[in-house]
Structures are given as C-alpha cells and as structure tokens.
Amino acid sequence: MPKPHIPSSAVRRVLRKLGTDLREARQRRRLTMAVVAERAFTSRATLQRVEAGDPGVSMGIYAAVLQSLGLLDRLDQLADPAHDEIGRSLASGELPQRVRMSTKRRKQSDD
C-alpha cells in the first residue's frame, strides 16, 4: 500500500492562506456558503474544507470555487512561462555560447 502524501509546512501554509482569502472573497460578495457551494457544484462541507485550506481537496474543486467567485481568470497565470524567471534563466543557461551555420546553409545564404 502506498504511503499517504503529507504536504510540507509551506504547502499547508499557502493553502490555509488561499482558503482564508477565498472565505473573505465570499464574505465581501455577501454570498452564503450554500450559494457558493451550489455554484461550485460541491457540498457545503467541501467548501468548508476549501476555506480551511485542506490539502486533500482536489485542485478541480478549488478551481470551481474560484470560478464561482469570479476569480478563475488568475489561476492560469500561476505557472505561465512568461512569469517563470527561474525557468527562463535556467533555459537560457543551456543555450550554446556560439552558433555555427552548417555548410549547406552557408552555401544557401551565399547564393
């Protein structure tokens, strides 16, 4: 039997903050838990788990709650390569220092 995944303290902290932020967004919109749960096609109990930052709730449920609050458009930016400074710097480190044109291409460009 596989060992259950235990998220790191950093993951738990971020999910708790996300849950708190989602609860505050719901309250600012003056929406009840029942309304948001219905709009997210989930139960009120699951919404309570989302607002508590439960790491056992699927990403799909978190996304559905974001959508029900009108905040889904930001989710697709999380891992966007345009905002991945580390990934871009690592990728640029793999670029060759010099690029040589093949003899076939050199002949084509001379023509």
Query: How far, in Å, CA of 12 to CA of 23, rounded?
Result: 16
- Kindly state the helix (H) or strand (E) to which residue 11 belongs, with its residue range: helix 9-28
pLDDT of residue 106 exceeding 60:
no
CA 66 remoteness from chain centre = 11
Q: In whole angstroms, what separates CA 73 from the centre of its chain? A: 11
| 3-state SS assignment for residue 92 | helix
What is the predicted pLDDT for the residue at 96? 64
Residue 93 confidence (pLDDT): 74
Cβ within 8 Å of residue 55, ≥6 positions away: 7, 11, 12, 15
State the number of CA atoms in the 13 A half-sphere of 51 facing the CB: 18
Q: What's the pTM?
A: 0.75
Helices (H), 40-102: 44-51, 59-68, 85-93
pLDDT of 34-85, one tens digit each? 999 999 999 999 999 999 999 999 999 999 999 999 999 989 888 888 888 8
Predicted pLDDT of residue 60: 97
pLDDT of residue 87: 83
Q: Is the pLDDT of residue 2 over 90?
A: no
Q: Give phi and psi for 6, each to the nearest 5.
A: -115, 110
What's residue 99's pLDDT?
Answer: 67
Over the stretch 14-41, which tens digit does the pLDDT of each residue have? 999 999 999 999 999 999 999 999 999 9
